[in-house]
Chain A
């Protein structure tokens, strides 16, 4: 299973980016093997509008089943739902720590957006 974590840098030790749609980077991890890839989100980060929706499309294309992030707005949440991707909000610390908490089952799936659109 692949999971994506929003990241403010291109490494596992970078802090989790609290924004979903306008995250700087995504770290995509294959949970079974621990292998990971990093993905630059600059194009969506700079979108005039609809960043969350397009970012949801990006992670959907990467074959991700779970997204771990700080906050997720209503349109992004709906897009993730349509794509069949689980959202986990409230992540803090480094990307590595967020992945470990997920593996230990210490996080739970968000059932709705946790912020208004354009919160940051």
Chain B
């Protein structure tokens, strides 16, 4: 069972919910931090890291002696990663999406692929939680490749929880696209509702089963609840606005002990979505 925690709007509490679920689960659980541009689950779990693997992508390398400047590679490239300058193909690897097409189409065999490091994946454990996290190197634009590398560590049996990146762009889609269920965490504000609608449209397009968690539930107004009722989207849990939760979070601690009954709420939620 892959349970993805996504949101649309950033800062709604994805990490809080993902951690609470992982720490409330009864059986073995694996937590994947897919927010590779700003991973943060490790700050709370403080895991023992036992494995580090670089993530690489194949990018083209041009042999200038063989390149006759025909421009086939440049016309094929949808990422604008190749320019024809002074009659030679010049590669800008940071823009490459590694489709491999340029190397295949080159009539003179001037292009071969080399591996380029763009990030890394770490594996470890913290008490009962098996933990995997990915990190995209600063300045690299292709997050989905690192996310896919993280997701290769999803458990084949049992529960895997994915803490996903915010937004509804490629990184979020790469994270949630094969989830068995997506929990969309939102807040009862106009911004939360606006981005929730985008996230709902995205997971519907992807054909995912999904439901909603409202965080800081009494901070705003009732429009998120109203929207979910109109759209027949289940609201699984409403987490109260509570300064003690924010304080525990800011100290890098679990927020479960702060609010009586919270652990039981998350157990109940897990039971519902994994049924």
Q: Does A75 contact B (CB under 8 A)?
A: yes
Q: Does B90 contact A (CB under 8 A)?
A: yes
Interface residue total, chain B, C-beta cutoff 8 A: 13
Scan B86-118; emit 1 where CB is below 8 A from any A CB, else 0.
100010101100000000000000000000000
Report the stretch among B48-56, B76-84, B197-205, B267-275 that lies at the interface: B76-84
Q: Which residues of A contact B28 (CB under 8 A)?
A: none
Inter-subunit contact B80/A47 (CB<8 Å): yes
Inter-subunit contact B141/A82 (CB<8 Å): no
Q: Does B65 contact A (CB under 8 A)?
A: no
Interface residue total, chain A, C-beta cutoff 8 A: 16
- Known contacts A49-B141, A79-B90, A82-B90: A54-B83 contact under CB 8 Å: yes
Q: Which residues of A contact B74 (CB under 8 A)?
A: 57
Q: Which residues of A contact B86 (CB under 8 A)?
A: 60, 82-84
Inter-subunit contact A56/B79 (CB<8 Å): no
Interface centre among B85, B90, B92, B94 (most CB of A within 10 A): B85
Inter-subunit contact B85/A50 (CB<8 Å): no
Scan A46-65; emit 1 where CB is below 8 A from any B CB, else 0.
01111101101100100000
Inter-subunit contact B79/A57 (CB<8 Å): no
Roughly how many angstroms separate A56 CA and B92 CA in the complex, as a whole number? Answer: 13
**How many Å from the CB of A42 to the closest CB on chain B?**
15
**How many Å from the CB of B136 to the closest CB on chain A?**
16
Inter-subunit contact A75/B94 (CB<8 Å): yes
Roughly how many angstroms separate A48 CA and B83 CA in the complex, as a whole number? Answer: 15
Q: Which residues of B contact A51 (CB under 8 A)?
A: 80
- Known contacts A49-B95, A49-B141, A50-B92: A79-B80 contact under CB 8 Å: no
Inter-subunit contact B141/A79 (CB<8 Å): no
Roughly how many angstroms separate A77 CA and B141 CA in the complex, as a whole number? Answer: 19
Roughly how many angstroms separate A47 CA and B81 CA in the complex, as a whole number? Answer: 12
- A21-49 residues with Cβ-Cβ distance < 8 A to B are 47-49
**How many Å from the CB of B110 to the closest CB on chain A?**
16
Inter-subunit contact B141/A53 (CB<8 Å): no
Of chain B, the residue at the smallest CB distance from A78 is: B92
Q: Which residues of A contact B80 (CB under 8 A)?
A: 47-51, 53-54
- Which residues of B are interface residues toward A (Cβ below 8 A)? 74, 79-81, 83-86, 90, 92, 94-95, 141
